[in-house]
Amino acid sequence: MALIFYARVSSKGQNLDRQLARAKQVKADKIFTDKFSGKTTDRPGLKKLLGFIREGDTVEVISLDRLSRNYQDIQHLVQKFKDLKVKLIVDDLPQTNTGNNLVDQFMLDMMINLMGFVAQNEREKIKERQRQGIEQAKKHGAYKGRAKKYAANSNDREGRLVFEGIKRDYQTNNYKSKTELARKYGISRQQLYRILKLI
């Protein structure tokens, strides 16, 4: 019977330190991590966790939204744990110990349902606020859209180098075909056409 800890942040720029400190504190036997959005369960760390767990194991997360921000996905994962007879511990949900396992499970299910709904509802609100913000920015001519990877002012160093290389080859006619140019820089033809449009 192993204690398995699952930690997740939404992007590569965020860090897992707080969650990993908790995993160390509870002396987790195994830790799985992801740096992916919670809007999908198609995450490598979560997939490995689901392939690893066995009957009698315990899965711990600091909060339910680490598993997912999608209500149905949370329901599906919790049911999967139940089917495998794997216990779920959610640190920010109170643990009930009435002495009656059925009552304890019922209370946990109720809290998970509520918190799962809250997690998805919060995600929907964030998306709506983003949409409204973009609309307002467009009205004022301030919306630039998503930053381009392949551009002269890209934040991505590799993206800038690819852009400059293509620009140089294109302006000096140093290529036989656009397909060959795209292949040379390891990008798709669609990406190449977008870069050429910028140039």
To the query of whether residue 154 is one of the catalytic residues in this protein, the response is no
Helix (H, G, I), strand (E, B) or coil at 14: coil
Q: Rg (Cα) of the chain, in Å, rounded? A: 23
Helix (H, G, I), strand (E, B) or coil at 149: coil
Per-residue b/e over 35-48, b at no fewer than 16 CB within 10 Å? bbebeebebebbee
Q: Which of 10, 37, 63, 154 is catalytic?
A: 10
Name which of 108, 73, 69 is nearest 92 in CA terms: 108
Q: How many helices (H) and strands (E) does the chain have?
A: 8, 4
**Residues assigned a catalytic role:** 10
